[in-house]
Structure 1
Amino acid sequence: MFRNQCDDSVLVKDYINGKEAALELLIKRHQQRIFSFIYSKVQDRDVTEDVFQDTFIKVIKTLKRGNYNEEGKFLPWVMRIAHNLVIDYFRKNNRMPKFNNSEEFDIFSIISDNSLNAEKRIIKDQILSDVRNLIEELPEEQKEVLKMRMYMDMSFSEISESTGVSINTALGRMRYALINLRKVIEKNKIILVN
């Protein structure tokens, strides 16, 4: 493993110094891991291929400009780029986490306005960050179901299959996750809409 990290940094230097084949080796070495990571987030093969290509276009541009300084940490750097592009994909396609729930309040309904000015965009980003932090405080089982439903667009049937619990259990965990989020929001007097 350590040897591969050294090899990565050597290949990066070789590519920067004009050896095009070095980049091909880097891509082949990490292709499966990066592709799988992207696919796990977007759940669509065509989108995954687009994001994968965009990731390496960004990698190439950064390396060619001489802006790469992640010595020996090539894969984590590329994974961060891929992660950011996945987020960009969801934002561009207005697919940021949404959940329509008639019984409980809808935390995510505040993020559907495409014509936000800069101030509102900053507030929206802060709210999303706050909500993500709140989600991390939930019990593991509730957090898992909530993330699968809202961030991965999985159906309750898919969640049931993935977690090995019944659909009713998955629905129950989602319900309790939303109830617990609401309690924390009220307790901490967090304002989700301005």
Structure 2
Amino acid sequence: MQKDDDKLIEEYLKGDERAFKELFERYKTKLYPYLISLCLDKDLAEDIFQETFVKISEKLPSYKKENKFSSWIFTIARNIFLDKKKSAKEKFLNSSLAFENSEDEVSPQDYLSESGNPHSFLEAENKTKALSAAMGKLSEEQREIIALRHFAGLSFKEISENLNIPIGTALARFSRGLDKLRESLKDMQ
């Protein structure tokens, strides 16, 4: 039976490093794809991913159980992203183009998949490039909400709390973003 997050946090705070590793394993497959779609820059997403888990380990003693741990993690990652964005505005202006033209691009599917089938890999890579290009056409707010919902698996209530916006706003941005994604992907086919 899988331990809940709060139990793992307690164990980690008592010195059990395995508990933190289990938290890392539990959230890496949600956090990394979220960061890729938020940043549209593989290197930046990896930096933020690593920095997020360092900050989590530092701030875990101050974590309040009344907050949902998953929302807390994504808030930390988002704040790191916003800090980096402020300090490197020029890089962000070109991030979408750099991501699309990157030769060593790693997609969430590449990161999560261990399939050795070249045909499947190429098909997944093409779909990922199309999705990345379409995501790049969305506003940052729409891209973030779609990433939190689909990659992180957060509810709209959690998204609204995480972003400090009304649920209706989150739903509207999500809906408009999906409509734009559908249009962009339809145009690319």
TM-score by length of 2: 0.49
Give the structure with the higher percent helix: 2
Q: Which has the larger radius of gyration?
A: 1
Higher relative contact order, structure no. (Cα contacts within 8 Å, ≥ 6 residues apart)? 2
TM-score by length of 1: 0.48
